[in-house]
Amino acid sequence: MYAFESSFWLKLLLLIVVVSLLLFLFNTLIRKWLGVEKTKAFSHNPVNGIHSKIDWSIRILFIVLMLVGFFINASRVTQEPYLFLESWFLLFVLIFVTEAVRAVMEWKYAANRKAYLATILQLAFSSLMVIVVIASDFFGIF
């Protein structure tokens, strides 16, 4: 009924590897070009205490939004769910908002004033990659 093609997982792995490689290369080139030190992968390093408090407030707000959105959309079984309350949509918004806050905090408080440019460029390129991948139907792979 909901079977995948035999090559589905291979195509998905290829897509993830290519997109990850492009994001990694872009991040490396931008940081080298701007002279900004590299951050550890999958680490959370707030710029200062204010940034840490704001970031946790945003995360808690989005957890609450996801729970509320789940219950609202679950109660709309016969109707279309609200897009802005879907978990995947809220996760994209969460990433965008937290990175935008990081860029503002780096602009105001970071020792290297160019760090915010690297964050903004990385956020813009990542957003563009997501839009291109979805708009191109995953580059015609699926």
Please name the residue that has the structure tokens 């079977």. Answer: 3
- Give pLDDT tens digits for 70-124: 999 999 888 998 988 899 999 999 999 999 999 999 999 988 889 999 999 999 9
pLDDT of residue 117: 95
Task: Taking each helix axis as running N to C, give the angle between helix 115-135 and helix 8-34, from 0 to 180 degrees, rounded to the nearest 10.
Answer: 160
pLDDT of residue 112: 87
Degrees to nearest 5, angle at CA 100 with 97 and 105:
125
Task: Taking each helix axis as running N to C, give the angle between helix 49-74 and helix 87-109, from 0 to 180 degrees, rounded to the nearest 10.
Answer: 170
127, pLDDT greater than 90: yes
Largest Cα span, the chain: 56
1, pLDDT greater than 60: no
Domain ranges of the chain: 8-37+46-140
